[in-house]
Each structure stands twice: as structure tokens, then as C-alpha cells.
Amino acid sequence: MRTIFEVERSGSSDAGLVPLPRSAGADGLPPSLARKRALRIPSLSEPELVRHYTWLSTLNFGVDSGFYPLGSCTMKYNPKVNEDLARLPAFAGAHPEADADLVQGTLAFLFEMTRLLREMAGMAEVTLQPAAGAHGELTGMFLVKRYFEEQGETKRTRILLPDSAHGTNPSSAAIAGFSVSQLPSGRDGMVDLAALRGALDETVAAIMLTVPNTLGLFEERILEVTQAVHKAGALSYFDGANLNAYVGRARPGDMGADVFHFNLHKTLSTPHGGGGPGAGPVAVSEPLVEFLPAPRIVKESSGLRLDWNLPRSIGSVHSFYGNVGVALKAYAYLLALGDAGLREVSGNAVLNANYLQERLKRTFRLPYDRLCKHEFVLSGEGIAEGVTTLDIAKRLIDYGVHPPTVYFPLIVHEALMIEPTESESKGTLDRFAGAMETIAAEAKRSPELLHDAPQKAPVRRLDQTRAARQPVLTHPFKERGA
């Protein structure tokens, strides 16, 4: 892999993108404050630069490249028009400190987006400030903390989590200053009500649940779970990573959620960007509204404005108002789909998952064999002697598919977590299932094909251990003159 620092270059020393300054140095800058060592950032001509990054892009696999069944990540198609709209200069150019009267269009869609998300959640109010799902979790944990502080219930310092939870859940709880207690899942993969009731006491602040859970199973006893939590004086946090399973058909507020975060980059189709930017709006029940981050958008006869006067707010969790550009793409997506489209999204996502599950369980072990929601979890265990889930995942690359999420959830050995989304056709699913079956046969007949995979990727299997032991995090520049 060649980096920009290794591109053989012939470009000029100044790219000529902006006018040249008139002097060689900053007039009035004391020498002690002036940069001494020259920057080591290469200067390339524009064609060289474009070739380098275009080449890099060809080494990447995105949703537009092919099937991307990465469980829990909802890698659905990202509509192109939304990209164009977010780039409109009237939106993209606006400065966050502009007076409200100059950004009424932006405030209008943020206000409307807040309303739509509030109604989708079936909850009292929404903040758009969190910049990602985990940031939404953290914001939610801050809200829970502040709520109990205000109640004077300072003993509530524990968060309960099922053992199937995403890693961000315990981490968000811990960063917000809570301790974490793990709840073992029942044999059916769901919350064990007896274990929950045994764990609930006056030290529990909240339970963090993912609905449906990370096995792709809907918590059928969700109402009993939240009732037990509320009866114990605690709150229910719902991780919305899996909202694609029931969007347009059910609402977390109706299940007893007190805090719920959306992942706009999952359910509402905004692109994942290779790892962000995302957006993690948070919905809350009535008792938590007054603690939401500042500012909030309010509508008055003179128009929309930002209200900073929120004395009981937890404060801010983002520089400004969250990832506005991401919210705009999600808003355009909601407008395109409408309510009926949302129902089709969950309907097709769940149908696709069940269809694949039904076929693949003939070849792979399915630890929880029942109706799934938008995703399901297989085990690669026992496919063939000496073959691991990682081998299966890497071999899928040779068949032109992005591997599923692997080794998660932790409660399934050799897990393969598959989420097809509604963006895939039956034909794509059939081809994927065919590839999985072929790989299972290869695993028995010629396991070296799996061990040596991938063969058709830009690189062979990469040595993660080496990177962990001897990390090289920046380009090792040769000293000048060397």
C-alpha cells in the first residue's frame, strides 16, 4: 500500500489554490512563536493527487460495491439525492453562530426532524445533538444521572446490561460514572425476568436494552421487563441500533422506554462514511425533558430560534447542534419514504433476514432457531475441523461479499451476525446463500482455500498481532538528507 508520502512526485511547491501572501513571513510575529520545523506534508500536482485517492477508493468495499451484511450496522443503500441536498450551499455554507433569522430554513428542518423523530419514538421530546450512536448512549446516561441527582437518589449508581449488549453500552455507562452489572440472557436468548427481578434494587439507575436484541430477537416480554424496571424506581434505556427491525410498526415509547437513541446512519440511510460522521438523536420520556442538552429549537410567532435558557439542562454534548448535515439527509429520506415507506423498510428487512436464516440454518448452526427480526446470528462452529468463523468471513471476500459481523454477540461461539437490510433483492440473497454453502463445502474438502483467504482482495490476510505489538501509527519519515 502506497501512502501519499511515498508517491513519487513532480508537483510544484505551492498548489496555487488560493492567492499567494505578499510577504515571506508574518509581519509582527515574534520569532519565538513562529514555526521552526517545516511541515512534512507532500505537495502533489492535482492529477497526481486525484490518481492517488481514486486508486485508494478502489481498494475499498462500500454498500455501492456489493452486499454488505454487517450485522447491527444496517448497511442499507444511501440515496444519492440526499448527498446533493446536504451539499446545497445554503445549508452547507451556514455558520453555526449565524443569527436565527438568517438560517430559518435550517432551523425549520431541524425542528421538523425533531417532531418526526419524537413521533417515531412515541416519546416526549428529542435532542439532535449527539453525533453518533455511542454519543447518544452517553448523552442518555448523562440524562439518567442528572435525573437521579435531581431526585436526590444518589445511591442509584448501577446500570444493568444483558450479556448480549453492544460494547458501547457498558462503555457509555462507565464513562458517565456508573458501574455496570451484567445480566445473563435466558436460554431463549432474551432477558431472564427472574434474574432481572433479582438484580433490581435501589442501587440500579437504569437498564440498557437493545430491542430487538443483538441476536436479532424481539424481547417478547418487553412490557414485563420495563414494568419491573419502573416498579423498582429505575429507568429504561433502549439502544436504537436495531430500529430497522420495527420502524413504522412499533414505538419504543409504547414499550416503556425512558431514553431511546436513533442511529440516523443506520435506520435513516445516511452513509456510514467509513466510520462517521453519523448522528445519534436521543428521545426521552416526560420526566427527563427538562434535562435535555442546550440549546433547543423553539417556535415563536417571529419564527424559529435557539433557546439556551435551560437551567436544568445537563449542558451541551456537542460544539453546536449536532450533525446538522447528517440530519438533513435523514430528513430527505423520511420525506421520500413517508409513513408507508417506513413500514415497507422494516417489512422487507425482516423478510430478507428470515428468508436467509431459513436457508442458511440447513448448513450452519443456528443457536436460536425462531422468528428473527432484521438480523440473525449463526455459529461457524463445527463447520469443519480447524476452520474458524474468521476463515469463513475472509473467504466471503473472495466471493465479492463484505463479511458479516463476526465474534459478536459474545454469547454465541464463533458468531456470524448477518443483517441483509431491505436494500437487497431476493437474487442477491440467493447468491449470498449459495456462496455460504459453497464455503461450507470448501471448508470440509479444501480448508486451505479458507485459511489462505482472501485471495481476491487488494491485500492478503493482514497481521493484526504485529500491529498490536509494534504499532506504527505515523509515516516513518527519513531524516532529511538521508
Partner 1 sequence: MRYIPNTDADREAMLQAIGRSSLEELFSDIPQAVRASFRPLDLPARSELEVVEAAQGLARANRYGDYVSFLGGGVYDHYVPSVVGQVASRSEFYTAYTPYQPEVSQGTLTAMFEFQTMIAELFGMEIANASMYDGATALAEAVLMADRVGRKGKVAVSRALFPHLRRVVSTYAWAVGIELVEVPCGADGRTDLSALSQGVSALVLQTPNAFGVIEDLSGVKERLGEALLVVSANPIACALLEPPGAFGADIVVGEGQPLGLSPSFGGPLLGLFASREAYLRQMPGRLVSRTLDAAGQTGYVLAAQTREQHIRREKATSNICTNAALCALSATVYMASLGAEGLRHLALLNWERAHDLAAKIATFPGYSLAFKAPFFNEVTVRMPGDAERTRLRLKEAGFLVGSSKPLAALGVPNALRFAVTEKRTPEEIDRLVLALGGAR
Q: Which of residues 246-285 bind partner 1 (CB under 8 A)?
A: 246, 248-251, 254-255, 265, 269, 271-278
Range list of H helices, 232-323? 252-255
Nearest distance in Å: CB 285, partner 1: 14
Which residues from 149-188 bind partner 1, rule CB under 8 A?
A: 166-168, 170-177, 179-180
- Position 319 contacts partner 1 (CB under 8 A): yes
CB of 360 to partner 1, least distance (A): 12
Q: Cα–Cα distances in Å, from 392 out to 59, 397, 409?
A: 21, 9, 17
> Min. distance of Cβ 390 from partner 1 in angstroms?
10
Asked if 230 touches partner 1 (CB under 8 A), the answer is: no
Considering only residues 427 to 466 of the shown chain, the ones binding partner 1 according to CB under 8 A are 428, 452, 454, 457-464, 466
**Nearest approach, Cβ of residue 400 and partner 1 (Å):** 10
- Considering the complex, state which of residue 278 and residue 380 has its C-beta at the smaller distance from partner 1: 278
Among 191, 232, 292, 314, binds partner 1 (CB under 8 A): 314
What is the nearest approach in angstroms of partner 1 to the Cβ of residue 384? Answer: 20
* Residues 384-413 contacting partner 1, CB under 8 A: 393-394, 397, 402-403, 405, 408
CA distances (Å), 252 to each of 168, 210, 235, 236, 246, in order? 20, 11, 13, 10, 10
- Least distance between partner 1 and beta carbon 50 (Å): 6
Within 333-392, strands assigned E span: 376-379
- When the beta carbons of 16 and 194 are compared against partner 1, the nearer one is 16
CB of 47 to partner 1, least distance (A): 10
Write the interaction track for partner 1 spanning residues 328-347; mark x where CB under 8 A is met and - where it is not. x---x-xxxxxxxxx-xxxx
Q: Which three cell numbers stand for residue 315?
A: 449542558
Q: Which is nearer to partner 1, 9 or 197 (CB)?
A: 9
Nearer to partner 1, 43 or 382 (CB): 43
Range in contact with partner 1 (rule: CB under 8 A) among 56-64, 197-205, 377-385, 441-449: 56-64
Q: Rule CB under 8 A: choose which of 8, 37, 152, 302 binds partner 1.
A: 37
To the nearest whole angstrom, how small is the minimum distance from the Cβ of residue 310 to partner 1?
Answer: 12
Spatial contact of 408 and 415, defined as CB atoms under 8 Å apart = yes
SS3 letters for 186-254? CCCCCECHHHHHHHCCCCEEEEEEECCCCCCCCCCCHHHHHHHHHHCCCEEEEEHHHHHHCCCCCCHHH
Q: Which residues of 179-199 are buried (b: 16+ CB within 10 A; e: fewer)?
A: ebeebebeeebbbbeeebeeb
Long-range contacts of 120-123 (CB under 8 A, 24+ apart): 120/247, 120/251, 120/262, 120/342, 121/251, 121/252, 121/253, 121/257, 121/260, 121/262, 121/283, 122/251, 122/252, 122/253, 122/254, 123/251, 123/252, 123/253, 123/257, 123/260, 123/283, 123/284, 123/285
Give the residue with the Cβ less far from partner 1, 312 or 382: 312
